[in-house]
Structure 1
């Protein structure tokens, strides 16, 4: 069997005996309707909220909150629909970077499409360390919920996002536009520290300390005037479902739809898993970790997981790599994480958890020594990595390929 593995702007074809291929996984095929109709229907029929035109009526300080380029949210297509209602009004657009860097010019074009030049002067990039943030209260864990002051000063807020599984928050979307999207660095750090819990997993909301804190934050957001626009995308990044209106209700309405796309059934786990980080998850090693984390659900204990990522912008966060590289074993990384925490350490902790039960290998263009610091074995091609994996696991070993590892959650049935 020949399998084409995407890798940045190119691909690599590998050939395996049929008996070795346990499965080739993609997000589930779903029937997506006309995208404009799906989006318009959601916006024109909001859940537990006035219609958008009524919501905006008389408002003097309107704020849109949109994702950065690490999410495939169809921001540009939503903007085209709602822009006529915004023209002539005082509005700003806040990029919800969380603790990420600001977008590049190329990424701005990706986010806003043909409207970018017309609206570029209205765009403000959230900087978790430098932007002035104001507290709106505390969560059950004592986290001070400090948000960008533009949020607090606005009398109408429109977060635009997408709902999909998230490796420690349960799901993205909804409240994540605010936390971590436009929160202060200290607030994000306190929230993400909860991610080191074993209960902080994809698809899990109840009992997940990160998700529970976000629910607390959601209750604090009731002080704000919000009209949420959320989507679920299919494997081609086209809109499969959408919901708008109340922040919590629009998020909850899309969880089942997200599962329909991204939760892929498997009959058994494999000795070898190849998990591919595709755009935008392949922006760097830090973001590509999501593909590694999702891939673990398809892997037998003691197996080999092979991450494939173009890592277009390099490492992404030096902090998480520094933690991984500071210790000689994954066990020692976790022990150190339990003693001290910095933002970014949660990624290292999740990777170390995988390293305790399996071998982590990587096919990337990064310096091999960088990959070794991350407790991963470097390879320059998938074919080379698979050849070595079969030497270790035997000629009858089974392989599962996850072709969009950042968004595909294998689920044993």
Structure 2
């Protein structure tokens, strides 16, 4: 590699970031969000949102809230409440809003012992110990409120609420959430590579769903749908299923947040789950959907840093997100810490089958099943960038055995990979996406 350096770019990587030096002679187009507003007083903004819920007008909202036991004020008449929070894979600022929300419930007569915080793990592992403390972010909440992890494999912990009208998915959801008088989902709204956007209804399903439900609407036919992509809700089968699941339980409330590139609170709202989610999306679209003039033969991206890049499983989101701006036959270079390694055993098994069978036969077998095997949908999503170009991963933490089942190329240095790609591709202009899947670039 030549020694001349003209630019340094910090990538989102682990907790501290990764400073990458762009080789001399290489021109980097840095793709990031426009500057986002930051709320000067986050606590005041949260309290204001809780005091002024959105979407409580209109016949549909009234029916949903009445079914949830909410009349007049959003907690009036309720005797119990369940607050769903995202698991450790999302940097949701729970420490900012949980206590004000809970204090509002207490003020409305719901006793502490009837309030449950439910970690919406989906099929991910539970969050325990110091990790749970970091996730909740408030010592008072930890000491005073019951906190549980959702367990998608525990049959008795779920309630059968029906089937989705359009596709007939059997819907089983966490009993603690379904049976609460007041149901509140909380989360972060950002691009999601399958469901369009995270937050809102996604916290409920797959977050609080039984394994049978999750593996149905994460099956190959859903994943292969051309509408099941980031930033798209129109005809998106996952989004449509999630909305129908919300209707099956009679609705819910939601608190949605949006963070800027530095993880500062940029937006918060509260209200009826569909209306509040739509409002949050209307806000974040202006920043996370970024137009670029063309595609590139070398694209550098990330898995968004901690906490998303804790595993290779989540790293695939960064690969998929950058595919829109990668020229066919190009090189996709991604940096991800993977401090926890690969992911679940089921995911490892899925990746092993992908590598052994090859993409075509692997995909053929997926379409022969009505239910996905757990976590194999992530392997299916990896096929998208693999079909466009070559994937090069910087991740010192994976073992040799884990590398064998990634299906991608191992690199020892992002800088060296850039240098070699530019030489191989014959193009000195590259694209760099420091925030990874939290930015969704597309060609104008």
**Interval containing the TM-score (normalised by the shorter chain):** over 0.9
Q: Which residue matches 2:45? A: 38
Partners of 2:193 and 2:301 lie apart in 1 by 14
Partners of 1:176 and 1:6 lie apart in 2 by 24
Offset at 1:116?
Answer: 5.5
Partners of 1:398 and 1:239 lie apart in 2 by 33
Q: Confirm or deny: 8 A CA contact 1:368 1:378 kept in the other structure.
A: no
Q: Confirm or deny: 8 A CA contact 2:71 2:77 kept in the other structure.
A: no
Instruction: Determine which of 123, 127, 141 is the counterpart of 1:99.
Output: 123
Partners of 2:400 and 2:392 lie apart in 1 by 11
Offset at 1:18?
Answer: 6.5
- Residue by residue over 1:111-147, the C-alpha shift from the partner in whole angstroms, topping out at 9 and shown as x without a partner, is 2223366446600110000152111111121111111
Q: CA RMSD in A?
A: 2.2
- Residue by residue over 1:143-183, the C-alpha shift from the partner in whole angstroms, topping out at 9 and shown as x without a partner, is 11111111222111121112111101111111112101111
Q: Confirm or deny: 8 A CA contact 1:27 1:235 kept in the other structure.
A: yes
Q: Which residue matches 2:89? A: 70
Query: Does 2:53 match 1:25?
Result: no
C-alpha distance 92-10 of structure 1, shift in aligned 2 (>3 A): closer
Query: Does 2:388 match 1:373?
Result: no
Q: Which residue matches 2:163? A: 138
Query: Does 2:344 match 1:317?
Result: yes
Report 1:7-406 matches (<5 A): 7-17=13-23, 20-34=26-40, 35-49=42-56, 54-87=73-106, 88-89=111-112, 90-115=114-139, 118-119=142-143, 122-130=146-154, 132-139=157-164, 140-193=166-219, 194-221=222-249, 223-224=250-251, 226-277=252-303, 278-326=305-353, 327-340=356-369, 341-364=372-395, 365-394=397-426, 396-406=427-437
Partners of 1:148 and 1:120 lie apart in 2 by 22
Partners of 1:150 and 1:322 lie apart in 2 by 32
Partners of 2:402 and 2:20 lie apart in 1 by 25
Q: Confirm or deny: 8 A CA contact 1:324 1:333 kept in the other structure.
A: no
Partners of 1:59 and 1:381 lie apart in 2 by 56
C-alpha distance 393-110 of structure 1, shift in aligned 2 (>3 A): same
Offset at 1:10?
Answer: 4.5
SS in 2 for 1:160: strand
In the alignment of these two chains, the number of paired residues is 410
Partners of 2:142 and 2:431 lie apart in 1 by 46
Q: Once structures 1 and 2 are overlaid, which stretch shifts more, 334-343 or 202-211?
A: 334-343
Q: Confirm or deny: 8 A CA contact 1:372 1:378 kept in the other structure.
A: no
C-alpha distance 106-265 of structure 1, shift in aligned 2 (>3 A): farther
Q: Confirm or deny: 8 A CA contact 1:230 1:250 kept in the other structure.
A: yes
Q: Confirm or deny: 8 A CA contact 1:390 1:397 kept in the other structure.
A: yes
Q: Confirm or deny: 8 A CA contact 1:128 1:184 kept in the other structure.
A: yes
C-alpha distance 149-165 of structure 1, shift in aligned 2 (>3 A): same
Q: Once structures 1 and 2 are overlaid, which stretch shifts more, 399-408 or 363-372?
A: 363-372
TM-score by length of 1: 0.92
SS in 2 for 1:349: helix
Q: Confirm or deny: 8 A CA contact 1:276 1:405 kept in the other structure.
A: yes
Which ranges in structure 2 are unaligned for 5 or more consecutive residues?
1-6, 57-64
C-alpha distance 48-281 of structure 1, shift in aligned 2 (>3 A): same
SS in 1 for 2:437: coil
